[in-house]
Structure 1
Amino acid sequence: MTTESDPSYLSTDRADDSTWPLIAESVRQYLHQSKRGSTTDAVTDALREAILDGVISPSTWLREEDLANALAVSRTPVRESLRRLADEHLVSRIANRGSVVQPMTIDDVFSIYLIRSALEGLAVFTVTSRPPDGLLDRLLQIQRSAAKCAESGDTVEGNKLNLEFHRVIRRATANAYLVRFLDQVENMVRRSGVSTYADPDRVRKNLEEHQAIIEAIASGEPDLAQDAVTEHMRKAREARIKALMVPSPRPRRPVRGGDSHHD
């Protein structure tokens, strides 16, 4: 993303003194979890996950010097990492001020889910046309585990299983480009920093929608499976917008594995 003028949503110079220590500690944890070789790659991964998991909240300023000190690295990899995140539309680079985490708007949600619905629909159409061995068994296994999480109220594990459900389908297409694009869309959705799993009714409906997708795949009718995914995406979009309109506490502790806030 190119450097922008000062947008109207910006209200703070950086995370305040009370939240910055938690942010710094959390980003360090993400850095230690990164398996990437170069410092720049590892810093990029750490900042990306902290943003996507909501540890660094929207409209938070990210200053190179603060981040370099927190991560015990030079400013050069931090500067390059922020440039990469700007290219991913996770931060905005503001002339003479630095970088700020981009908030997600309702218009963003509509745009992202328009793309996601098309790509998820293509993925399920593909696997229903020629389902690979073991796909249905794996989806049913995830569904059973997710149902147990719903019963016990384990929203963290349930959210991870929800992500895995969609990842299994797209990986089963064996289309590397489709997988890559959907991975990017997943990150865009996570950028909202809110969880639809805070609503027990949405968790129940999500299970029902996933079951409809499984049954459609089992039927061997690609159009039916695509319709099931399209309906699932429509309802997920509505839930995302509803959740986005409810303020959530910030900052958050890191979520291991980067599996937060997705439907």
Structure 2
Amino acid sequence: MRDLSAYLSDRPSRGRTTEAVTNALREAILDGVLPPSTWLREDEIAASLQVSRTPVREALRRLSDEGLAHKIAHHGTAVSPMSLEDILALYVVRENLEGLAARLAAKNTPAGLVPALQKVQAQMEELVDSGDPAALSRLNITFHRLIREAAGNQYLDRFLGQAEQAVRRLAPTTFAAPGRASTGCAEHAEIIRAIEAGDPDAAEEAGKRHMRNAREIRFSAMMSM
């Protein structure tokens, strides 16, 4: 078991140990520190995080409910793998949900949204030639998070949050593909222009097109492996 102590930056307050352990394990899975099919042994996790086994047991149950872990009869709990079918399903759903988020953001356009998107966009454009796909990926997550929060729909926010978690598990990021940094930034610019113009139809189409292109890059990379 890898040392997971870094994922508990502070000792959890009384009554919040289960939540802290759940967050720590979730982030370790999303970061790839606990890769697919890793066994999640209660005693090893408890020792690594210096907590009792009770909150670990509850944390594993919660992660199973989220689909990040699964129980195997008579063996224990392991990190859930992501099959090609899972990834296909993820992008089909994400394409439509990201399109809807962009549509709603264009209709609502809360104060400060466009400048916030432009700021992230500028940071991404500065990294296009630097060859730092991990940093681009983090900024990309921020970009899409701003849009989904601006959509003002709690259910959409929740579903896209779950999709974001799944995307974080896919390695390498699509920004590692040749040319994707520049094309991804260009697609973001289209989304920003549509939102700034208050054009829901254009924003939705730009959001969907962005996801379709990401999907094609992802599948091309997987097929070449």
Shift in alpha-carbon separation, 1:97–1:246, aligned structure 2, 3 A: farther
- Evaluate the alpha carbon distance shift between residue 34 and residue 69 of structure 1 in structure 2; reply closer, same or farther with a 3 A threshold: closer
Give the conservation status (yes or no) of the 8 Å contact 2:124–2:136: yes
CA distance in 2, matches of 1:204, 1:167: 20
Instruction: Find the counterpart in structure 1 of residue 179 from structure 2.
Output: 201
Using a 3 Å threshold, how does the CA distance of structure 1 residues 125 and 195 change in structure 2: closer, same or farther? same
The alpha-carbon deviation at position 115 of structure 1 amounts to 1.5
Does the residue aligned with 2:32 lie in a helix, a strand or coil? coil
Counterpart for residue 95 of structure 1: 73
Correspondence for 1:230 among 192, 197, 208:
208
Deviations 1:131-166 (A, max 9, x none): 122222211111111110222233333222111110
Alignment match, 2:6: 29
Which structure carries more relative contact order (alpha carbon 8 Å, separation 6+)?
Answer: 1
Superposition CA RMSD, Å: 2.0
TM-score for both structures, normalised by structure 1: 0.79
Matches within 5 A, 1:107-256: 107-244=85-222
Task: Please say which of residues 236-245 and 92-101 is displaced more in the overlay.
Answer: 236-245
Q: Could you tell me whether the CA contact under 8 Å between 2:104 and 2:152 is conserved in 1?
A: no
Q: In 2 relative to 1, CA 28–241 (structure 1 residues): closer, same or farther, beyond 3 Å?
A: farther
* Letter matched to residue 215 of structure 2: R
The answer to whether the Cα contact below 8 Å between 2:106 and 2:196 also exists between their aligned partners in 1 is: yes
Question: What letter is aligned with 2:102?
Answer: V
Greater helix content: 2
Cα distance in 2 for residues equivalent to 1:217 and 1:175 = 17
Deviation, structure 1 residue 194: 3.2
For residue 194 of structure 1, give the secondary structure of its aligned residue in structure 2: coil
List alignment gaps of at least 5 residues for structure 1. Answer: 1-19, 248-263
**Aligned pairs, number:** 224
Is there any run of 5+ residues in structure 2 with no aligned partner, and where?
A: none
Shift of 1:93: 0.4
Equivalent position of 1:81 in the other structure: 59
Q: 1:128, CA displacement in angstroms?
A: 1.1
Q: Distance in 2 between matches of 1:246 and 1:204?
A: 22
Query: For 1:193 and 1:34, how far apart are their aligned partners in 2?
Result: 31
Identity of aligned pairs, percent?
48
Tell me if the contact between 1:192 and 1:244 (Cα under 8 Å) persists in the aligned partners: no
